[in-house]
C-alpha cells in the first residue's frame, strides 16, 4: 500500500489479525514501520508484533503491568496480502511469531 498520508497506513494495518501461510493465527499487528519511498509517498516496510511495541500505543503505567517486552519485526516482503487480516508468506515459527502459543499447544497435545 502506498499513500501520501502516513496515518492511512497506520489505520490500514494496525490491530489486524495475522495469519501465517498455513492459515494459523499468529498475532495481531501492534505497530508498523514505514518509509517515505518517494517525496510525499509512504509505504509500509515492516509489521511490528508483540508487547515490545505496546509502549508506543498504551500509557506507561499500563504497559508496566503487562508481561514481556518481546517484539517481532515482519518484513513487508513476507506479507502476502492484507484485507480484513494480514496473510504471511511464511509459517509463524519461521518468523518467530507466537512461540508461547505454539509451546502451549504442544504441551497440551493439540499441535
Assign domain 2-107 to a CATH class: mainly beta
Spatial CB neighbours of 64, under 8 Å, sequence gap ≥ 6: none
For the ranges 40-54, 65-79, 85-99, which has the lowest average pLDDT? 65-79
Contact predicate 62/71, CB 8 Å = no
For residue 63, pLDDT beyond 80:
no
90 compared with 61, residue with greater pLDDT: 90
Instruction: Look at residue 71 in the predicted model and tell me its pLDDT.
Output: 87
Please state, as a whole number, how many other Cβ atoms lie within 10 Å of the Cβ of residue 7: 9
Checking if the pLDDT of 69 tops 90, the result is no
User: Which tens digit of pLDDT belongs to each residue from 2-38?
Assistant: 899 999 999 999 999 999 999 999 889 999 999 999 9
**pLDDT higher than 60, residue 110:** no
Tell me which DSSP letter residue 51 carries: G
Q: Phi-psi region for residue 69, left (φ > 0), alpha (ψ -120 to 50) or beta?
A: alpha
Amino acid at each position: 500500500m502506498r499513500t501520501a498520508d502516513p496515518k492511512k497506513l497506520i489505520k490500514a494495518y494496525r490491530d489486524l489479525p495475522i495469519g501465517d501461510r498455513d492459515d494459523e493465527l499468529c498475532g495481531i499487528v501492534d505497530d508498523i514501520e514505514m518509509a517515505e519511498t518517494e517525496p510525499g509517498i509512504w509505504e509500509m516496510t515492516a509489521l511490528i508484533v508483540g508487547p515490545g511495541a505496546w509502549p508506543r500505543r498504551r500509557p506507561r503505567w499500563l504497559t508496566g503491568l503487562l508481561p514481556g517486552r518481546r517484539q517481532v519485526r515482519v518484513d513487508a516482503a513476507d506479507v502476502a496480502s492484507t484485507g480484513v487480516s494480514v496473510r504471511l508468506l511464511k509459517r509463524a515459527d519461521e518468523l518467530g511469531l507466537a512461540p508461547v502459543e505454539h509451546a502451549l499447544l504442544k504441551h497440551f497435545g493439540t499441535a
